[in-house]
Structures are given as C-alpha cells and as structure tokens.
C-alpha cells in the first residue's frame, strides 16, 4: 500500500457531462428529495474524482478509503440541458493519526468556461501511513454554535438507499453495496454513502430555514465522522448563525455521523 506524491498537483483529464431531467429525477428519488439538490454536483464530477484518487493511492490503499470531508460551492444551478466539463486535481497528501488524507479539488465549468461548481473531496485511508505532508487541508467550517438548535429534523434511511444512490450517482464502491466486502475492510456491514447522508442533512437544513427550493443552497460543507447504516434513522440538528446555518447529524443520542456542517442559502 503506497502513495505517489509526484501526482499531487497534476490535473486529470477533463470529462464532459450533459445534465438531463432523468438524471436530476433519479438523484432526487435516490435521496428522497426534490430535483436540483446541491449534492447532485457530485454526479458530473465523480468520474473525474476516482481516477484522480487512483493516480495517488495504490489499489491496496484504496481498499481502506473512506470519504472524510466534503466542501461544495455552487456558483450556477445545474439545470437540465446544461453541458458541463469537470477536471479534478489531487492537491494535498497529508499524514494523519491512524492514516493518511488525500484532498482532491474538482472544478466544473459550462461550455463557455464559466465556473459552475467547485468542490473539495477529502479521502481518508484508514491505517495506511505516509510521511508526506504536501499541500493543505481543504477549507473547513468548525461548528461554533451552542445552545438549543433552531430545529431538529429526522429522516429514516431505507434498506435499499445505498442501492438506489449507487445507481443514481455512479458511486458503486463495494463498501456501500456488499456486506461481506465491507466486513473485509473492518466495517460491520455496508454503509450509506457520505454524500447521500449529506443530501438528507441538507434537506433538513432547508426545512429548518423554511427554504423549499433545493437550488437555493449555495455553499455546503461537512465532515463525515461515523458511518450510517441502511435502516437507521438520521437526526439532524440545525443552528442559525451569522451568514448561514450550522448543522450536525446523529443516530440516536450519541453517534454523530456528520459534524462541522455548514450551509449558505441564497
């Protein structure tokens, strides 16, 4: 298990994607939401992110990978009919306690070159060590709110949620679909995709903010702190703070699965 530090800073190939009503609808159905949610931005970007990760991390290391953090800025809505071009670049490889972090930056632009979305994907390779400290962590928003939340919203996670999400997003990594494989990498069973969890939490923040239109979300970031499993109930706590909303999400009273959550709406 190893990492190729020479790949840091080297952009991968561009990938084109046409947004369709069918793709927007499928993603909405997979996340139990309305079409146009901000997390759909991963769909045109995903085919560029996995190869970018593989350019740095060996296949052995990738068996130990989990999605650790995600930060997203939406500059323009991802409407049906828009043709997008995405390029991903690994921008940091960082030694961490108990493993290694890889940060990938993906930029999605329209045909005229105007920026549509930018997102930072931070992967964590559990138990895979490196001495490298190249680049910097992705932008983050540590939670500062205290006191009672503005709202607490619950969403049940369906048993087939990971299957639907994999089909709609293109992320068919076996830890989300195969209990036996998940157990071989130290998990108790298949886990819900981090971005599917985030899509549910984003919907909870909109509900707390009284915002119906998913396209109103302009900025979204979070840290994935523990796995969520199919069949569980996700509880999202939302606080109103200057400039936006902070949130965290949990299962029961004490298993926090999302932390340092931040949302800005138009």
Q: How many domains does the chain have?
A: 1
Are the C-beta atoms of 55 and 90 separated by less than 8 Å? yes
Return the H-helix or E-strand segment holding 122.
Answer: strand 115-126
**CA dist., res. 124 & res. 44, Å (int):** 22
Residue range 217-242: average pLDDT? 96
* Amino acid 35: pLDDT: 92
* Amino acid 143: pLDDT: 84
Span 149-193, pLDDT tens digits: 999 999 999 999 999 999 999 998 899 999 999 998 888 999 999
Q: What 3-state class would DSSP assign to 148?
A: coil
Work out the burial of residue 96: count CB atoms within 10 Å of its CB; fewer than 13 is exposed, 13-18 middle, 19 or more buried. Answer: middle
Burial 156-165 (b: 16+ CB within 10 A, else e): ebeeebbbbb
Residue range 135-146: average pLDDT? 86
CATH at 176:
3.10.129.10
* Amino acid 8: pLDDT: 96
Residue range 135-158: average pLDDT? 91
**CA dist., res. 199 & res. 27, Å (int):** 10
* Residue-number span of the structural domain to which 116 is assigned: 5-265
Where residue 1 falls among pLDDT bands split at 50, 70, 90? confident
* pTM as predicted: 0.92
Is 90 exceeded by the pLDDT of residue 66?
Answer: no
Q: What 3-state class would DSSP assign to 12?
A: coil
């Amino acid at each position: 298990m190893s990492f190729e530090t020479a790949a840091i800073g080297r952009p991968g190939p561009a990938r084109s994607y046409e947004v369709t009503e069918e793709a927007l609808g499928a993603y909405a159905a997979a996340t139990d939401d309305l079409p146009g949610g901000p997390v759909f931005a991963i769909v045109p970007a995903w085919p560029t992110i996995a190869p970018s990760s593989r350019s740095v991390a060996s296949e052995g290391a990738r068996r130990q990978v989990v999605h650790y953090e995600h930060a997203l800025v939406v500059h323009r809505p991802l409407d049906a009919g828009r043709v997008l071009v995405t390029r991903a670049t690994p921008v940091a490889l960082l030694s961490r306690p108990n493993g290694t972090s890889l940060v990938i930056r993906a930029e999605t632009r329209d045909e005229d070159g105007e920026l549509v979305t930018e997102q930072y994907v931070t992967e964590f390779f559990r138990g895979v060590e490196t001495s490298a400290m190249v680049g910097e962590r992705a932008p983050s928003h540590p939670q500062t709110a205290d006191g009672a939340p503005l709202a607490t919203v619950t969403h049940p996670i369906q048993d087939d949620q990971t299957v639907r999400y994999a089909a709609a997003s293109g992320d068919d990594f076996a830890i989300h679909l195969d209990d036996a494989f998940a157990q071989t990498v130290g998990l108790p069973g298949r886990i819900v995709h981090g971005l599917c969890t985030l899509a549910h939490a984003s919907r909870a923040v909109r509900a707390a903010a009284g915002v119906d239109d998913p396209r109103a979300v302009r900025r979204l970031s979070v840290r994935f702190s523990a796995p969520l499993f199919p069949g569980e109930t996700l509880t999202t706590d939302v606080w109103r703070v200057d400039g936006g909303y902070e949130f965290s999400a949990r299962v029961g009273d004490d298993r926090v699965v999302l932390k340092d959550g931040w949302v800005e709406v138009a």
